[in-house]
A = this chain, B = another copy of it.
Amino acid sequence: MTDLQSGGGPVGALPFIYGHVDPALFPAEGLREAAALALARHHHSALNYGSSLGCSSLRALLRAKLERDEGLKLGEDELMLTAGASAGLDTAVRVFTRPGDTVLVEAPTYHEALGIIRDYPVKLAAVSLDDDGLVVDALSERLELLVGAGERPALLYTIPCFQNPSGATMSEGRRRALLQLAYRHRLRIVEDDVYRDLYFAGPPPPSLQALDSEGMVIRLGSFSKILAPGLRLGWAVGSAGSIGRLAECGLTTSGGGANPFVAYVVAAFCEQGWLEPHIDRLRQTYRERRDVLLAALAACMPSGTGRKPAWTKPGGGFFVWLTLPPALKARAVLKEAEGRDVTFLPGEPFYAEGGGEQQIRLPFSYIDRPDLERGVEIIADIVARMLPG
């Protein structure tokens, strides 16, 4: 995220580097009205410390949304607000790990999550991913190895829907198998579910948290992808016991819950009935952009054995994950691309234990049709020129 603003403006004319919402899609006018409503009606609460679980009207709205969308009936103490999904992950690592524990992640995974976990005195272990999400058999083997070596695997961080960076979604079968494995190993799961609402065909499989019968999953949601990241507001869902552990941590207690002012603004926005139509618009916009990106890749990328890159076809979210032909490295392509004002993230930062030399993350969320097409044309041209023979 830092690269976005430290220089004052976007990096590169065609910044495939940004895996986030296009600012042109922020509902600024609605949020302005919501802020005025919140401060007119609730300024004593909105400007004060709040309960550790966060603004109760927004929590009620979120529980109602989860019941409507997924048939989930949550108790009052099974959902709390967070200062974004990042803060939820941060608190979970603080509360649920001890020094020396191992935290498992997907390979690849969200690189900023790796940064958060690395700030704690824990070890990282990465488990591979395929088109159906985390490979549960590989996780099982890794857990056996870790336990055999005297390690304590404490937590798994997974992004089962429209994963960042791969776009992969974990199948329902994998989800059920993962939970059984987690129960056997008493492995807590942090489920980063921030892209769930942004599906293009139909809703994704039930969340791990919804399938969890033993209180081992904490599921993180966020307004960053469906409203605006500058709000720094998200939520966590789990058993009353595990939500209580997050809510009772020193920082949450001291601060008085996550961002009360923002929470009241977002509650006012939702109470006006503006959230669902906004999400509908985002789904349509991002679906169109995904289609543009996939069509451009199909049209422009070189073909032929050993020459054609592979790419994922996500059913939602923000990301296509491209694998270069064997002869090419992503960093070499990036170097050429930067010379032509196109930037993207090569695969390495997304791997906790190495890998990703041939991968490129291509977000379709941040830039619009003509730039998506021109960016792909340039990358495809570079790939074609760099291929031997």
> Assuming the A-B contacts A112-B254, A121-B98, A256-B4, are A47 and B35 also in contact, with contact meaning beta carbons closer than 8 angstroms in the complex?
no
Q: In the complex, A367→B65 CA distance in Å?
A: 39
- Specify which of B43, B49, B98, B112 is in contact with A1 (CB 8 Å cutoff): B49
Q: In the complex, A36→B34 CA distance in Å?
A: 10
Q: Kindly state whether residue A123 has any CB partner on chain B within 8 Å.
A: no
Q: Kindly state whether residue A45 has any CB partner on chain B within 8 Å.
A: yes
Cβ-defined contact, A261 with B48, below 8 A: no
Q: Kindly state whether residue A304 has any CB partner on chain B within 8 Å.
A: no
Cβ-defined contact, B232 with A255, below 8 A: yes
Q: In the complex, A36→B249 CA distance in Å?
A: 34
Copies of this chain, count: 2
Cβ-defined contact, A5 with B112, below 8 A: no
Residues on B with beta carbons closer than 8 Å to the beta carbon of A32: 35-36, 39-40, 43
Q: Kindly state whether residue A305 has any CB partner on chain B within 8 Å.
A: no
Cβ-defined contact, B255 with A86, below 8 A: yes
Q: Kindly state whether residue A46 has any CB partner on chain B within 8 Å.
A: yes
Contact with B along A10-41 (1 / 0, CB 8 A): 00000000001101001011011001100110
Residues on B with beta carbons closer than 8 Å to the beta carbon of A45: 5, 230
Q: In the complex, A256→B1 CA distance in Å?
A: 5
Q: In the complex, A226→B49 CA distance in Å?
A: 14
Q: Kindly state whether residue A259 has any CB partner on chain B within 8 Å.
A: yes
Q: In the complex, A9→B29 CA distance in Å?
A: 32
Q: How far is the CB of A350 from chain B (nearest CB, A)?
A: 14
Q: How far is the CB of A228 from chain B (nearest CB, A)?
A: 4
**Which of A87-95, A196-204, A311-319, A329-337 contacts the other chain?**
A87-95
Q: Kindly state whether residue A229 has any CB partner on chain B within 8 Å.
A: yes
Q: In the complex, A36→B115 CA distance in Å?
A: 35
Cβ-defined contact, A119 with B95, below 8 A: yes
Q: In the complex, A101→B229 CA distance in Å?
A: 35
- Specify which of B83, B87, B230 is in contact with A49 (CB 8 Å cutoff): B230
Q: In the complex, A118→B44 CA distance in Å?
A: 31
- What is the chain B residue whose CB lies nearest that of A260? B230
- What is the chain B residue whose CB lies nearest that of A21? B48
Q: In the complex, A264→B26 CA distance in Å?
A: 15
> Assuming the A-B contacts A1-B254, A83-B255, A256-B2, are A261 and B231 also in contact, with contact meaning beta carbons closer than 8 angstroms in the complex?
yes
Contact with B along A251-284 (1 / 0, CB 8 A): 1011110111110110000000000000000000
- What is the chain B residue whose CB lies nearest that of A121? B99
Cβ-defined contact, A31 with B2, below 8 A: no
Most chain B CB atoms below 10 A, which of A23, A29, A35: A35
Q: How far is the CB of A94 from chain B (nearest CB, A)?
A: 6
- Specify which of B116, B118, B250 is in contact with A116 (CB 8 Å cutoff): B250
Residues on B with beta carbons closer than 8 Å to the beta carbon of A31: 39, 43, 47
Closest 5 CB pairs of A and B: A115-B250, A112-B254, A47-B228, A28-B43, A230-B260
A-B contacts, 30 listed (Cβ < 8 Å): A1-B49, A1-B256, A2-B51, A4-B48, A4-B256, A5-B49, A5-B50, A26-B44, A26-B47, A28-B39, A28-B43, A32-B39, A32-B43, A35-B265, A49-B230, A83-B232, A86-B255, A87-B251, A90-B250, A95-B119, A99-B99, A112-B250, A118-B250, A119-B250, A228-B261, A229-B256, A229-B260, A230-B261, A232-B258, A232-B260
